[in-house]
Structure 1
Amino acid sequence: MSLWEVHAIKYADRNARVRGDSFIFDDNHDAPHPMDYFMWLLRRGSEVILVDTGYDDAEAALRQRPIRMNPAAALAPLGLTPDDITQVIVTHLHYDHAGGLHLFPNAALHLQTAEMAYATGPCMCHDTLRAPFTADHVCTAIKRLYAGKVIFHDGEAQVADGVTVHCIGGHSRGLQAVRVRTQAGWLVLASDAAHFYENLWARKPFPIVVDLQNMLDGFDTLQHLASAPGLIVPGHDPLVRQYFPKGAADHIFRLDHGPTTPVQTKV
């Protein structure tokens, strides 16, 4: 049975946030609540799969949300260049997950059919739903489609032996989580199906949502998919850096051996 390495790569953070930005129902809505930005790298021998791409300096300037490092350069401590990436699982097309698609020109994209339909359909007539997307990123995905380099999935699908994707929805119509077979068991990269541990364990929805029921049901799905509660990795929580050890550099964290201290599920 082949097992995967899983690396969380932090490329940005944003500290000027409050709890009201992270939870729909929260009495302490104006308390500070920082956010980290990650992409993830799966490796098994010579096989490499990137999960999401982050966003670049141009997008950072456009949204006034600076990044710590360019996502392409962030891979260097793992001995990889952008040209080495031939497969990218795009959990969804929001700017902070698909804003670097152009940085990896050799990559085929794994995307839920529902996500492409959502990002190019009538829901984008609404400013609120359109806000987390950037047209150029969606166009990059479409160009990759016309180059024959998009693999669409509907619901649950296998990307490689020991790597599956699962459509969750909620935050974005075709948001997918990634399940990976590791030394510690089945690990689940929740991406934005759970931005923070508290979204998941306290069942507090994130405010950017297209389908609230799907988001809430998705929390149960994440628990079902993972071998243990501590193997659910939220998409933006700074606590990931406390629970998991550092990897090849200060901005990289090794996930596949499991957390070094028990993840607190009571919040």
Structure 2
Amino acid sequence: MSEWEVFALRYADRNARVRADSFLFDDDHSAPHPMDYFMWLLRQGKRAILVDTGYDEVEATRRDRPILMDPRAALEPFGLMPDAIDTVIVTHLHYDHAGGLHLFPNATLHMQAAEMAYATGPCMCHDTLRMPFTGDHVCEAVKRLYRGRVVFADGDAQIADGVTVHRIGGHSRGLQAVRVRTQAGWLCLASDAAHFYENFEAGKPFPIVADVSEMLDGFATIQRLASSPGLVIPGHDPLVRVRFPAEAGLPETWRLSSGPQS
């Protein structure tokens, strides 16, 4: 049975946030609540799978949300060149997860059909729903489709031995989580099915949401996908950097596949 190494790569942070930005219902909306931005790398021998791509300096300037490092630089310590990445799992097409698709030109994208339909359909007529997307990123996904470099899932699908994807929805119509077999057990990269541990541990919806019911149901799903609650990895929580060990010698990198620190 194949086991994978899994790493969280932090490429940006955003500290000027409050709890109102993270939870629909909360008793202290004005309290500070910082956010980290991650992409994830799966490795098995010479094989590498990238989960999401972050965003680049152009998008950082456009949204006034600076990055700590270019997504390509996050892979350099692993000896991985952007052109060599052949598989990217796109959890959803929001700017902070798909803003670097163009940086990995040879990759085949694995995404949910529902996400492409959502990002290119009538829901994008609404400013509120369109806000987390950037047209250039969605167009890159469409161009990749016309090059034969998109593989769609409709619910659950296997990407490789020990790597599966599962449609969650909620935050975005086609948001998917990634389940990975590791030495610590089945690990669930929740991405934005839960931005923070508190979202799923306390049942608190994140304010950017396409379907609240799907989001709440998703909190249970991501926990079922993991072998234990500690192996559910939220998409943006700084606590990931506390609960999991930093990878020695690699900047802004945390090893998830060995399990949380005791």
> What's the TM-score bracket when you normalise by the shorter of the two chains?
over 0.9
Q: How does 1:69-80 map to 2 (within 5 A)?
A: 69-80=69-80
Q: Secondary structure at the match of 1:195?
A: coil
Question: What is the root-mean-square deviation of aligned Cα atoms in Å?
Answer: 0.6
Report the Cα distance in structure 2 between the residues aligned to 1:205 and 1:232, rounded to whole angstroms. 16
Q: How does 1:51-130 map to 2 (within 5 A)?
A: 51-130=51-130
* 1:111-190 pair list within 5 angstroms: 111-190=111-190
Contact 1:73 1:81 in 2 (8 A): no
Q: Distance in 2 between matches of 1:30 and 1:78?
A: 40
Aligned-pair distance for 1:153?
Answer: 0.3
2:26 aligned residue: 26
- How far the C-alpha of 1:81 sits from its partner, in A, is 1.2
Aligned to 1:264: none
Q: Matches of 1:24 and 1:230 in 2, distance apart?
A: 24
Helix, strand or coil at the partner of 2:23: coil
Instruction: Give % identity.
Output: 74
Determine if the alignment matches structure 1 residue 254 to structure 2 residue 255. yes
Gaps of 5+ in 2: none
The separation in 2 between residues aligned to 1:2 and 1:110, in whole angstroms, is: 20
SS in 2 for 1:75: helix
In the TM superposition, structure 1's runs of 4+ consecutive aligned residues that sit over 4 Å from their partners are none
Contact 1:9 1:251 in 2 (8 A): yes
Equivalence for 1:265 = none
Give the letter for the 1:3 counterpart: E
Read off the aligned partner of 1:254 and give its amino acid letter. R
Deviation at 1:250, TM superposition (A): 2.6
Partner of 2:193: 193
Contact 1:246 1:254 in 2 (8 A): yes
| Aligned counterpart, 1:231 | 231
Q: CA deviation at 1:132?
A: 0.1
TM norm structure 2:
0.99
Q: Deviations over 1:57-79 (max 9, x none)?
A: 00000000000000011111111
Alignment size in residue pairs = 261
Which structure 1 residue ranges, 5 or more long, are not aligned?
262-267
- Is contact 1:8-1:255 (8 Å) kept? yes
Instruction: Name the SS for the 1:109 alignment partner.
Output: strand
Distance 2:243 2:251 in 1: 14
